[in-house]
Amino acid sequence: MGMDWHSSGITTSVIGALKRGLIPLEKELGVHVCGGHGRYSRQTPHELVEIGGRVGFDGAALATASRLVAKVDSAAVQDGFQLYLHGFIVTDDGHWVVVQQGMNGQLRQARRYHWLSEGLKSFVDEPHAAIEGPGQGEIVNLTDHRADPSRRRQVELLGALGPDGIARELSKIIPSYARRVFGGEPLLPHLDLPAHHDVRPGDIVEKRLYGNLAAAADRGPRDFPELLLTPGVGARTVQALAMVAEVVHGAPYRFTDPARFSFAHGGNVPLRVYDETVRVLKSAVHAAKLGREEELGALKRLDAQARLLEQEASGPPVEELISNERDRSRGDESYASHLEPRQ
């Protein structure tokens, strides 16, 4: 739900509604919703520590997990989507789910990142339960299993070369870096962010990057997760290290975007489609409660067949499918008023 630019707020609304609705029932259900949109997302670590102190799970460890999940989806995966929502749902026994969402204003697309503690073996090696959104091709994707050499080499480079050595290597890759850091050219204040979300050589503020590299080297991270958690280390620092690791050690850092587009119910689906979907699901659940498993079994078989089909299916481009769905949705008079472009 809510994967188009004008309906991505559905995710924010659902997380907010869950948080408000479950607070009175959290003792009874043992489920707690933390974080949310914008400034509420930054309160997640404090909420986890406070709840952990009340119910008994390790709130500090989960606070670290919250920070790391956010860093992975903003620095280790650089796909052009700016995070603005972080919802952390945790149970009394410490099991958790994270739902994060990002927006690409230029593409007018949203992307959702799903994490599950169940079965999670690594925060940086293919950790996602799912990433829902249209793929962007080849991106900086350090969560790909094949990126393990790059992750290891980045940490090693901090100790072996230090910030000065890394800066020298960067000067070979980005000529402007050599002029500005080693040539003494004055830097003007950088008050405006670029219009794009991907990191390009011209976007790097060299002196700030050098300071982040020095801070990371001084902290001496033992592995890639510790590197990500170093204050000041973000997308630009990680990409700079990845670039040097590729040049020095031949460790690639660009791989296929792990997102898989979820073409279910977004902002362009007529209300009658939602109503029919809800009716079918309610019927199946009601029948299952009465001991009749046929309807629920049919849904499970449909899901299994859909997953098998996804592995081999092909069809028209996603852009064409989206355009067709929008045209069809405009034909529904009861919904057309919601499809006018925003000014």
Q: Copy the structure tokens of residue 192.
A: 């405006």
Q: Which residues contact 164 (CB under 8 A, 6 or more apart)?
A: none
Please check whether residue 3 is in contact with residue 109, taking contact to mean a CB–CB distance below 8 angstroms.
yes
Nearest-CA neighbor of 12 among 77, 131, 106, 99?
99
Domain spans, the chain: 9-144, 147-256, 271-332
The Cα 76–Cα 238 span in angstroms is 7
Sign of the Cα pseudo-torsion (195, 199, 193, 84, in order): positive
Nearest-CA neighbor of 144 among 257, 260, 238?
257
Provide the pLDDT for residue 126.
Answer: 95
Provide the pLDDT for residue 298.
Answer: 74
Provide the pLDDT for residue 119.
Answer: 92
Provide the pLDDT for residue 342.
Answer: 33
Q: Copy the structure tokens of residue 289.
A: 């409660």
Digitized pLDDT (tens) for each residue of the chain, 343 residues in all: 555 556 678 888 889 999 999 999 999 999 999 999 988 999 999 999 999 999 999 999 999 999 999 999 999 999 999 999 999 999 999 999 999 999 888 888 889 999 999 999 999 999 999 998 888 889 999 999 999 999 999 999 998 888 889 888 888 877 655 554 445 443 333 434 455 555 454 455 567 788 888 888 988 899 999 999 999 899 989 999 999 999 889 999 999 998 876 555 555 556 677 777 778 777 877 777 766 667 667 777 777 777 776 676 666 676 776 676 666 655 544 333 333 333 3
The Cα 246–Cα 15 span in angstroms is 40
Tell me the pTM: 0.70
Residue 130 CB coordination number (10 Å): 14
Provide the pLDDT for residue 268.
Answer: 55
The Cα 204–Cα 180 span in angstroms is 11
Q: Copy the structure tokens of residue 278.
A: 């809800």
